[in-house]
Chain A
């Protein structure tokens, strides 16, 4: 069965600083990987996804993620964080039976 870990429960960065959120997955085959963002009191919004092909994936709001098979990782990055990026970020893997497994989430706080 697949699983997802997000080692950082809470990250605080200053506005304008770069950001990297870590995600590690466990799955036997090539997974489908996703990053979602959840603002307070809101539903989940898809930031980007990896199905196959280029391992560097561009998403919305200036986010990108890189799939590294050797490290079983799919880290999310943004070169310059905006205050509006403060939210909860979830990494997810889709594997057997099209079941989605979400990581525990990383809460991002942005300092002015």
Chain B
């Protein structure tokens, strides 16, 4: 158990819908990272937050957005969902940027 929690574990929705994935970092960690894992793209870095501020952006679509709240939990919002958005979404946290990242169990999203 890494100490990073993600909810929900599974999510099934339809194309065009909007969903929110939630992540609670390890106690004391200020940085949160979001990743997408799919069969064709592998593990892709989406976005990083540090202490509430966006710090780095990766291959995140404009239909996706994220934020980190004052209590340091983070949410990833996925809108106008497409079939290709079906994937495993991981959250990771670290004490500071550049430190070891610890991964949550992931949220498996299926878009029908």
Contact = CB atoms under 8 A, between A and B. Distances in A.
Contact of B55 (A46, A90, A97, A101): A97
Interface in A32-58: 32, 34, 36, 42-46, 49
B45 A99 contact: yes
B104 interface: yes
Contacts of B101: 46, 100
A72 to B, nearest CB: 20
A94 B55 CA distance: 14
A105 B33 contact: no
Contacts of A32: 98
Contact of B56 (A46, A98, A104, A105): A98
Given A98-B98, A100-B45, A104-B42, A45 B103 contact: yes
A45 B100 contact: no
Given A90-B43, A99-B45, A45 B2 contact: yes
Interface residues on B, range: 20 to 34
Contacts of A42: 105
Given A32-B98, A44-B90, A100 B105 contact: no
B98 to A, nearest CB: 5
Interface residues of A, number: 20
A74 interface: no
A71 B42 CA distance: 24
Nearest to A34: B100
B22 to A, nearest CB: 15
Interface of B: 2, 4, 31, 33, 35, 42-45, 48, 55-56, 58, 90, 92, 97-98, 100-106
Given A94-B98, A99-B58, 18 more contacts: A34-B100, A43-B90, A43-B105, A43-B106, A44-B90, A45-B2, A46-B101, A46-B102, A90-B43, A98-B48, A98-B56, A98-B98, A99-B45, A99-B48, A100-B101, A102-B42, A102-B44, A104-B42
